[in-house]
Amino acid sequence: MKKLATGLFILTIFATSCATLQSIVKSTFPYTSNLIIPASSNVGSTLSATSSASSFDQIFTGSGSNTDQITQVRISSAKIESVNPSNQNLGVFKSINIYLVNGSQQTLVANRKDVSATVGNSLVLDINNSKFLDDYLKSGTVRVKMEYVLQSGLSVDLSVKASLGFNSSPANTN
């Protein structure tokens, strides 16, 4: 009987530590979205591009089995980089706002105002983590909208990759 009780105790400790380890290891979930900025975009006007986002870690997909295991999802990082042409200086942008979109609702998750004309082909954005984003990321399809103002014209269409990182907490399943 003593061996059985000890075995159950060890099994309980192991199962609890695995759940804790999983919540520590899987605290950040990356999403990427490719957005096209047409060469015909007007300088000085507020324009937008929208695209679906995807993640190699599909824990947040609405059809995923683990979506009920997480809560309090917030943005933790945001960056854009030029993809095609890959050496395009992102200093062509004057300002950038990144939103998550769900139907008619949208929430600002990152932005950058007064982008330097010599920033290079990668730009880290300022995050807005004041809101929980559970509804957006658990809904199934994650859509990203980029509002932008150009400070100089483009000679070719520009493809940029928006990389967004999200943090979550384990849900209380008691």
Q: Is pLDDT above 60 for 63?
A: no
Q: How confident is the model at residue 75 (pLDDT cuts 50, 70, 90)?
A: confident
Question: What CATH number has the domain spanning 28-170?
Answer: 2.60.120
Q: Is pLDDT above 50 for 141?
A: yes
d(C-alpha 13, C-alpha 6), whole Å: 11
Pick 34 or 20 by higher pLDDT: 34
- Starting at the earlier edge strand, list the strands of the sheet with 28-37: 28-37, 158-170, 70-84, 122-124
Q: Which range among 4-18, 45-59, 90-104 shows the weakest confidence by mean pLDDT?
A: 4-18
Which pair of structure tokens corresponds to residue 147?
């509002």
Q: What is the mean pLDDT of residues 158-173?
A: 83
Across the chain, mean pLDDT equals 81
Q: How confident is the model at residue 104 (pLDDT cuts 50, 70, 90)?
A: confident
Q: Is pLDDT above 80 for 43?
A: yes
DSSP letter for 19, please. H
The tens digit of pLDDT for each residue in 143-163 reads 899 999 999 999 999 999 999
* Domain parsing of the chain, residue ranges: 28-170
**Is the peptide bond between 170 and the residue preceding it cis, with omega within 30 degrees of 0?**
no
Q: How confident is the model at residue 23 (pLDDT cuts 50, 70, 90)?
A: very low
The tens digit of pLDDT for each residue in 114-123 reads 999 999 999 9
Percent residues over pLDDT 70 in the chain: 72
Q: Which range among 61-65, 81-85, 86-90, 144-148 shows the weakest confidence by mean pLDDT?
A: 61-65
Quickly list DSSP for 27-82: -EEEEEEEEEE-TTPPBTSEEEEEEEEB-SSGGGSTT-TTGGGEEEEEEEEEEEEE
Element (H, E) at 8: helix 2-25
